[in-house]
């Protein structure tokens, strides 16, 4: 066998060669790639091989809440990787125990036990596995536009995409409708969303389908891939009551909403509830692969007594745990929960201003620095257009702004806007001005 070449993609690689090699050797895993070679990133921007500077309005994959290459993260990685990076999964290190303790200190009782993993899918996989073992049941309920990951149990609880063509999902997975105030299915006499009637109807259907083995309800406090949909106040308390009636555990997936992004440390704080199990990922590592499952001592003890097994290669890894501690340091020191509230209000005002000038903006929603902007071709009918969203997204990138558009049947084009919590008002204003220009140019040629 010939030896591998020492360099796979040095900066001097011609662009044509780069894309030829990408086409020849990469598995495509979710549509096409952005046709830019990214050389580096810093703060709120990524920089291309051609010298372009692109404002990142998605924090990478909705993860880099401290921006790219934050000095504190860089320093921690350099120090930790030279000291202690990876261990046998049964060994413990100080960063792991410290992070578990500190996460517990940010949460209400009884959430005090942590399992440190890598990705959101893995944390949801572990949470579902734990819930099934503890309850002795196997049925899982999730929102019809959910996204919880691509591994087996997480993918079986994911309904926004990726279900066709893969054969049977895990048995006992059920979907309930999303309480979408902009596109209500159950309405009050005045046309508003009647979420209580919707929730009652949903669980009537769940009860009709269940074999008596309802283990857990796994949901996002704000659905992101589902179109930045925030259930109304009171919804999650009512949902938790439905779970309690049936002996189910409530699992909240705060991959994108956890750790200050919505203006509070956790999105569930608004609803005055405490989940049985909480999963964190994306924001916990600020762009590095770190996730966590948090639960009560009672649930953890029951799982342990029943032989809970989730022994993975990178469970309790010290390198990323040290990064997680640094993330908490920066969030606390810089008061980024308050900053997310303030910048979120600034961003929303800017988006509302755009809506006064562009009839294609149908709805603005979200909380803190997780905002949704839905594009429609007609405000009265709320007619969606995948083509419109795709064209605006493409024009934004050409103008120097990276945006993420959700395009689901019946949803229209919904921009998921999630800049770093470290972004400045000037950077948000720049993004708003580019979006304004892109929408204007695209609609002018329709």
Kindly state the average pLDDT of the residues 421-435: 98
- Find the catalytic residue in 80, 113, 137, 147: 147
Q: Is the pLDDT of residue 36 over 50?
A: yes
pLDDT, the chain, mean: 95
**pLDDT of 255 strictly over 80:** yes
User: What average pLDDT score do residues 298-303 get?
Assistant: 98
What was the pLDDT predicted at 408? Answer: 66
**Residue 215: which of 161, 162, 167, 276 has the closest Cα?**
276
Q: What is the reported pLDDT for 2? A: 45
Whether 1 has a pLDDT exceeding 50, the answer reads no
9, 39 Cβ separation under 8 angstroms: no
7 pLDDT exceeds 80?
A: no
Looking at per-residue confidence, does 280 or 8 come out higher? 280
Look at residues 99, 53, 111 and name the one whose alpha carbon lies nearest to residue 324. 99
**Is residue 345 within 8 Å of 325, Cβ to Cβ?**
no
Which of the residues 137, 246, 282, 365 is marked catalytic? 282
**Which DSSP category does 68 fall into?**
B
The residue assigned the tokens 């410290």 is 98
Query: Active site includes 416?
Result: yes
Model's pTM, two decimal places? Answer: 0.95
Q: Exactly one of 122, 139, 194, 220 is catalytic; which is it?
A: 220
The active-site residue, picked from 265, 271, 416, 427, is: 416
Say which of 125, 194, 253, 363 is annotated catalytic. 253
Confidence at 384, pLDDT banded by 50, 70, 90: confident
Please confirm, yes or no, whether 19 is among the known catalytic residues.
no
Is 220 among the residues known to form the active site?
yes
Does the pLDDT value for residue 10 go beyond 60?
no
Is-catalytic flag, 163? no
Segment 67-125, tens digit of pLDDT: 999 999 999 999 999 999 999 999 999 999 999 999 999 999 999 999 999 999 999 99
- Can 256 be counted among the known catalytic residues? yes
First vs last C-alpha separation in the chain = 56
Reply yes or no on whether the pLDDT at 58 is more than 50: yes
The pLDDT value recorded for residue 31 is: 80
The answer to whether residue 234 scores a pLDDT higher than 90 is: yes
Mean pLDDT of 23-48: 94
Would you say residue 53 has pLDDT above 80? yes
CA distance 194 to 174: 21
The pLDDT of residue 265 is above 50: yes
Joined together, the tokens standing for residue 12 give: 């001097």
Average pLDDT over residues 261-274: 98
Residue 363 backbone zone (phi > 0: left; psi -120 to 50: alpha; other: beta): beta
Please state the rounded mean pLDDT for residues 53-58: 98
Domains of the chain (ranges plus CATH)?
Answer: 31-62+336-444 (3.90.1150.10), 74-333 (3.40.640.10)
Catalytic residue among 80, 240, 256, 407: 256
**DSSP E strands: which ranges in 312-426?**
361-367, 370-375, 401-402, 404-408, 412-417
3-state secondary structure of 286: strand
Mean local confidence (pLDDT), 7-32 = 83
Please check the confidence at residue 432 and state whether its pLDDT lies above 90: yes
Query: In percent, how much of the chain has pLDDT > 70?
Result: 96
The residue behind tokens 């470290």 is 422
Between CA 265 and CA 267 the distance in angstroms is: 7
pLDDT at res. 412: 61
Is the confidence at residue 446, as pLDDT, over 80? no
The answer to whether residue 132 is catalytic is: no
291-296 and 361-367 beta bridge pairing:
unpaired
Query: What confidence score (pLDDT) does residue 5 get?
Result: 46
pLDDT in tens, 306-328: 999 999 999 999 999 999 999 99
Q: How many residues does the chain have?
A: 446
Q: Assess whether pLDDT exceeds 70 at residue 409.
A: no
Tell me: pLDDT of 411 over 90.
Answer: no
């Amino acid at each position: 066998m010939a030896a591998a070449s020492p360099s796979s993609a040095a900066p001097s690689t011609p662009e044509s060669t780069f894309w030829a090699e990408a086409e020849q050797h990469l598995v495509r895993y979710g549509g096409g790639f952005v046709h830019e070679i990214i050389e580096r990133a810093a703060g709120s921007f990524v920089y291309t091989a051609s010298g372009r500077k692109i404002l990142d309005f998605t924090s990478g994959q909705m993860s880099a809440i401290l921006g790219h290459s934050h000095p504190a993260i860089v320093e921690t990685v350099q120090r930790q990787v030279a000291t202690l990076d990876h261990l046998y999964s049964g060994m413990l290190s100080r960063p792991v125990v410290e992070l578990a303790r500190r996460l517990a200190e940010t949460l209400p009782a009884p959430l005090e036990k942590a399992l440190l993993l890598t990705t959101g899918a893995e944390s949801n996989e572990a949470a579902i596995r734990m819930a099934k073992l503890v309850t002795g049941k196997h049925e899982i309920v999730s929102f019809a536009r959910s996204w919880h990951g691509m591994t087996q149990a997480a993918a079986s609880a994911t309904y926004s995409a990726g279900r066709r063509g893969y054969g049977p999902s895990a048995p006992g997975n059920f979907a309930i409708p999303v309480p979408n105030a902009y596109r209500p299915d159950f309405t009050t006499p005045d046309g508003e969303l009647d979420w209580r009637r919707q929730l009652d109807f949903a669980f009537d259907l769940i009860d009709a389908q269940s074999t008596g083995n309802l283990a857990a309800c796994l949901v996002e406090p704000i659905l992101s891939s589902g179109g930045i949909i925030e259930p109304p106040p009171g919804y999650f308390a009512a949902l938790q009551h439905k779970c309690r009636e049936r002996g189910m555990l409530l699992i909240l997936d705060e991959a994108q909403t956890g750790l200050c992004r919505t203006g509070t440390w956790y999105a569930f704080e608004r609803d005055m509830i405490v989940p049985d199990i909480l999963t964190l990922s994306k924001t916990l590592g600020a762009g590095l692969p770190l996730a966590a499952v948090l639960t009560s001592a009672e649930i953890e003890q029951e799982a342990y007594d029943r032989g809970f097994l989730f022994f993975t290669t990178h469970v309790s890894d010290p390198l990323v745990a040290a990064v997680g501690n640094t993330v908490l340091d920066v969030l606390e020191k810089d008061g980024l929960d308050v900053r997310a509230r303030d910048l979120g209000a600034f961003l929303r005002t800017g988006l509302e201003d755009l809506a006064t000038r562009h009839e294609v903006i149908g709805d603005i929603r979200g909380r803190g620095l997780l905002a949704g902007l839905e594009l429609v071709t007609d405000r009265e009918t709320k007619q969606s257009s995948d083509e419109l969203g795709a064209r605006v997204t493409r024009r934004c990138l050409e103008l120097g702004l990276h945006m993420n558009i959700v395009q689901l049947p019946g949803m229209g084009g919904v921009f998921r806007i999630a800049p770093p919590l470290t972004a400045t008002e000037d950077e948000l204003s720049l993004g708003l001005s580019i979006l304004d220009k892109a929408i204007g140019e695209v609609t002018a040629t329709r």
